[in-house]
């Protein structure tokens, strides 16, 4: 079945530094990638939607200059948290949708970001 590889699974960084999270679709082409943020035992909050080769669409209240999303190819999308602060600590999850859609969404395994 469809697999999305998300790396790193966890990362600790210092305040003010930037962190990049990668999501790769291993056996299908992900025309659309969704990036979510999740707080402990809470629901997933959609941050942005990206389509290959075009700019990401950010949800209201999400700072696009802080959360940089790149979807340069059909198999790779990245989320960069710039100038991270402790309040950015969270669980980040990507979800890919294929060209054929098939109403299937494949999720990455998530990245636990801790900013100290």
Give the residue with the Cβ less far from other proteins, 16 or 26: 26
What is the nearest approach in angstroms of other proteins to the Cβ of residue 39?
11
Give the residue with the Cβ less far from other proteins, 50 or 75: 50
What is the nearest approach in angstroms of other proteins to the Cβ of residue 28?
14
Which residues sit at the interface with other proteins, rule CB under 8 A? Answer: 4, 6, 32, 34, 41-44, 46, 49, 51, 57, 91, 93, 95, 97, 101, 103-110, 112
Give the residue with the Cβ less far from other proteins, 44 or 68: 44
What is the nearest approach in angstroms of other proteins to the Cβ of residue 34?
6
What is the nearest approach in angstroms of other proteins to the Cβ of residue 103?
6
The DSSP secondary structure of the chain, one letter per residue, reads ---EEEE-SEEEE-TT--EEEEEEESSS-EEEEEEEEE-TTS-EEEEEEEETTSPPEEPTT--TTTEEEEEEETTEEEEEE-S--GGG-EEEEEEEEETT-TT-EEE---EEEEE-
Residue 13 tokens, joined: 């960084």
Count other C-beta atoms under 10 Å from residue 113's C-beta: 21
Give the residue with the Cβ less far from other proteins, 57 or 83: 57
């Amino acid at each position: 079945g469809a697999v999305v590889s998300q790396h790193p699974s966890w990362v600790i960084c210092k305040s003010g530094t930037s962190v990049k999270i990668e999501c790769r679709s291993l056996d299908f082409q992900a025309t659309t990638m969704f990036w979510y943020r999740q707080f402990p035992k809470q629901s997933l909050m959609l941050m942005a939607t990206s389509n290959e080769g075009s700019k990401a669409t950010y949800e209201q209240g999400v700072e696009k200059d802080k959360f940089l999303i790149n979807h340069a190819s059909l198999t790779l999308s990245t989320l960069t948290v710039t100038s991270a602060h402790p309040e950015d600590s969270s669980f980040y999850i990507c979800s890919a949708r294929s060209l054929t859609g098939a109403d299937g969404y494949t999720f990455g395994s998530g990245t636990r970001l801790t900013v100290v």
